[in-house]
């Protein structure tokens, strides 16, 4: 009997393991340009104090292309590649440009093609499964920290919302309180009661309203 219960428990765990489909890849220590402190930014050799000031002045960064134009384009390829090993704005897998994908350290034309081939992604588990056809688990885990799949405001779980950088229980409660959303303008209006316009814009880039 005990053995049977253990087997049932294991099967249940396996069956439900994929239901918490975190939409923002697990972070392995990357600084987020919208959240990092001035001291942490200035400590990056490729930025220094002047570069840190540019990052702070440009917040909220809504695309990696814009960040690259501000602080990466004046570096050679080795320089900005090393910078982006430490500083990165997660990319929306479903609308990111090939040029932005190629800014991910260690990603070349072949892997950029694989990122694009499986669009549209419905969740990070799909990204892990498809990219795992080409690289090992450690490399999938490294790559996923550079990307996200937008969350459906009307169906995402609290656990999914918690994967958004800088989001805690209070803001998750506000996300859920105003469901159902009919337009992003509604989300922006309601969240604007709690945070400033810059933070609303930062949060909105992680969201969609599904059909």
Q: What is the pLDDT of residue 20?
A: 41
> Domain of 167?
151-208
- CA dist., res. 122 & res. 156, Å (int): 11
Q: Report which DSSP code applies to 36.
A: -
Q: What is the pLDDT of residue 8?
A: 33
Please check whether residues 139 and 109 belong to one and the same domain.
yes
- CA dist., res. 178 & res. 176, Å (int): 6
Please check whether residues 78 and 65 belong to one and the same domain.
yes
Please check whether residues 84 and 114 belong to one and the same domain.
no
Please check whether residues 121 and 170 belong to one and the same domain.
no
- Residues 107-136 have a mean pLDDT of 97
What pLDDT digit, counting tens, does each position of 89-111 carry?
999 999 999 999 999 999 999 99
Domain end position, chosen among 89, 114, 134: 89
Q: What is the pLDDT of residue 210?
A: 87
**60 assigned to some structural domain:** yes
**161 assigned to some structural domain:** yes
What pLDDT digit, counting tens, does each position of 136-173 carry?
999 999 999 999 999 999 999 999 999 999 999 999 99
Beta bridge partners of 148: 24, 92
Judge contact between 113 and 167, C-beta under 8 A.
no
**58 assigned to some structural domain:** yes
Q: Provide the pLDDT confidence category of residue 22 given band limits of 50, 70 and 90.
A: low
The CATH code of the domain that includes 163 is 1.10.150
Which residue do the tokens 């209006």 mark?
A: 189
Residue of 13, 12, 208, 187 whose CA lies nearest to 122: 208
Residue of 117, 89, 83 whose CA lies nearest to 25: 89
């Amino acid at each position: 009997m005990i053995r049977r219960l253990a087997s049932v428990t294991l099967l249940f765990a396996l069956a439900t393991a994929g239901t918490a489909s975190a939409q923002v890849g697990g972070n392995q220590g990357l600084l987020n340009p919208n959240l990092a402190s001035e001291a942490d930014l200035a400590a990056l050799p490729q930025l220094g104090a002047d570069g840190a000031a540019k990052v702070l002045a440009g917040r909220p960064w809504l695309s990696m292309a814009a960040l690259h134009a501000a602080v990466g384009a004046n570096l050679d390829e080795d320089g900005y590649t090393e910078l982006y090993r430490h500083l990165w704005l997660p990319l929306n897998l479903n609308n990111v440009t090939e040029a932005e994908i190629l800014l991910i350290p260690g990603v070349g034309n072949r892997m950029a093609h694989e990122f694009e081939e499986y669009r549209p992604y419905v969740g990070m588990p799909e990204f892990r499964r498809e990219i795992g056809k080409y690289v090992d688990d450690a490399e999938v885990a490294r790559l996923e920290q550079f990307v996200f799949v937008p969350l459906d405001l009307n169906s995402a779980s609290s656990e999914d919302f918690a994967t958004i950088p800088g989001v805690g229980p209070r803001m998750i409660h506000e996300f859920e309180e105003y469901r159902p959303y009919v337009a992003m303008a509604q989300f922006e209006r309601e969240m604007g009661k709690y945070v400033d316009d810059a933070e609303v814009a930062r949060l909105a880039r992680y969201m969609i309203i599904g059909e």
